[in-house]
Structure 1
Amino acid sequence: MASSHVLVLIDGHSHPFLNKQLNYGKMSAATLLREAVDEFLPTVSHVPSEYRLVVRIYADLASLNYGAGANSPPTVDASSSIASRPLASFAAEFSCPEPFFDFTDVGSREAVESKIEGMYAVAVQDPACKHILLGAWEKPTYISMLQLHRENAAKVTLIETNRMGPGVSLLLSERHLPYTTATFPNVFRRPSQKDRATAHHAGIESAEETMKIKQETGSLRLDIRSIFSELFATTTAPQPLPAARQPTQVDNPPRFRLPPQANPGYVPVNKNGERLDVYMRQPTKEQFAAYQRRVAQTGKPCNEFYLHPPCENENCPYDHSPTDGDIRYVHIWIVKSTPCTDGSRCRRANCSFGHVCQKHGCRKNVDKARECNMKDFHAVDPVYVEWVPEDAGYAMKAS
């Protein structure tokens, strides 16, 4: 089965290579990774004996320093190009020997997330891709990605690293994510006793402490600082919605505290019962420019095809061609910047349109706020309180 392939998808920041890999000769890191994968895959029943191994590693080399100690985070010095030169050589040497091995410098941490998310979304749906070895952690984007594609969990193995610890098992268990894990000790740094996703985002030192907090409080409502506290969020019946309010200028709007990831079957609401959205980082200028170039070449992307497939319009005038993570992200952002016709009463979990303005400019510039497509939502309190069950007919019944 020559077309069959296995994808190894790595975030170079969350999954650093062993320091000694930098000092070995050419092909060392690539060879050791191939050997580790070849040794592991016979344990996966659905992978054929013949397959093509595709490796995609993404990183921002300017902010990555593998010279840090095994128990320390990478050193960040975005102003120094000198620090990134050894890694640039390492990346080039890693990519050269194998035709389908690529270690790519994408220029920013945001771009790394976007690339990983885009590649993963395509691979999990690709029947030619027989298995995915995923090395990506710490970011809410990746947790959301695993939740979104949980039905494909049998096709995915999570590669452990020193950024992981007991929190991995806790997260997978609490969110009912049936993913398996594997350790490649000759390639990536070993798992530590602390999970950095837990410690950094939630301030929780161990899985035991997390469970203790859960037992003492019963449940936790989401704090945007925390990936893990969302795991324990309660779901209650929606409260009656307040009377419609007139949009007002907010000179000092409340700090955004939107959920970092979706909760399938539920929608997020604020203290007033008004529908909110999952937080989206505003795309960079580079991402917007890439999107505009793509639209100029292929036309506007089809919302149905990309956001709610399939598109059943045989004569659809919009673009259906393959896209990458950056283009898809900007497309989602643009649609999310279009107001939902059901407004704050919307209870459709898969609604692609916006229910709260997430543009930074509107909070600082009155003129921009007046011109914003989402100006009718500027008075909506952007502080998440709870999840409520979805109800596609709720808006119509409540009106």
Structure 2
Amino acid sequence: MNGYATINDLGDVNAQLRAFKDSDERRDAFVQDLVKRYSDLQIAHRALVHDFENEKQSRRTWQERFEVVERTTNILQGNVNNNCFALALIDGDGAIFQDALLQSANEGGSDAAHKLHTEIKNHLQSIYAASSSWAVCVQIFINLEGLAKKLYSCGIVKSVTDMYAFARAFSLNQPLFNIVDVGSGKERADHKIKEMLRLFIANQQCKHVILGGISHDNGYLPGLDQWRYDQATYSRISLLETTPSEPGFLALNFRTMRCPSLFRSEHLPAKPMNIALPVQTSMQPPIQPPIQPPKSQTLATQSPLMSTPQRQMPPILPTPPVSSGVPLVPRTPDPAPTLHPLLNNGRSKSVSSTQSNGSITPAQSAATPSPSESTWATIGNKGKTTSSYSIAPTPRRDRPFILLNAFDQRLDVPISKARASFEGLDMRIKRSGKVCNNYHIIGKCNEYGCEYDHGVRLGEGERTALRIKARQKSCPDLLDCRDPHCIYGHQCVWGSSCAYGEDCFFHATHKMDRTPVMRLFENDEIQLIQA
């Protein structure tokens, strides 16, 4: 080599230049790829940073919310735990207190409330270890007036006021105990108990519910059956058994508690027992010698003078016929029964009795007449002998009344079909159209624009036939109706032998007690019917 490049040497240079060029291109591609990757990483990083910030903010937000909810939950849980209670719902028709408690009135009511509170606390303690601080609420739903009359008619209490006194004392002894008067009507107590159960069974503060006096009524079964398969709710229900339970309640297998010292284990008598009423003792007037009335005047032709003051008379004795000339000889009257007031919404009712022969003995005053007032031959102004008076009882108009059985259920007064003229009624309807029941039966119609025939009132036979037809329609209040002027029917005339069965409008009355034990008049006077 002489120091100069040859042609072969230039070829090598070109090869190297091409190699360098390829290397530069690869380097550029590599750098561009690095730049692209870095750019992509930056974009991904920014997205991750944003996501992280969002998650961090969300976590803080949820943390704050959790803390609020936790505080609220703790407060609510504390309130629930601090105000726990057990509720007893009792149907008073099926849970009758023991006779001794009812007869003690005020003392019995207080004693019953205290004993019931103790029994319920013991029952709860056997189920829940932490139940010592729970409050006990008791609601007894009852027809107070009806039960009071029933107890009185059965001779269990001396007066219906004893039942009212018992109820007041029971409610006052325990602040959360109440006897709720629901009035007459079987479904009223049932409805209240079912609605109270529906409301409180979902209340978490209500830890346990005791249902009492319902095991005789299968109407409660559908409502209880729904809780049978809900273990959480099923375990919170107990039954207070008084009278023997129906088979359907035994199949439910709820917890059962019994209080034999508090409640009767048998139903009240279906019919009232003979009540030995105390006799009002009074001095009897001495027997007077026979006194012949003056020949010039007879009892039948004289009338009491308007100026003669009226006196309180003893029980009226049978008056001999005037034409027989028999002198008026007084005799010692039979002792009058002592009056027992029956209360209805604060109003007193006078009680009279009806003998088995159907004669009515009106309620009498407890005042004792003096001998001068009790002497039959000396009626009138003292010293006068020129006038005589009729002592025959003044006929009193028939007062409207309704019949009640021992369960305070209305019975229809029988109507004699022998006096009915259905043919005459049909002729009147064909001639004048349908007649107005109220107008022709009661004597007045208060419906404005009545579309039925009024006109001349029906005769007695046609009116009797119309009454029989009107009774074929059931009264909306049925056994609870107390309107003596109600023209509709209150019981099925066929009773348990009715061919319509449950399709009968009166099917609820098919198995009712049809023995009347009292009459209830418009003025709330009650007249016991003695057997």
Which structure is higher in RCO with an 8 Å CA cutoff and minimum separation 6?
Answer: 1
Greater C-alpha radius of gyration: 2
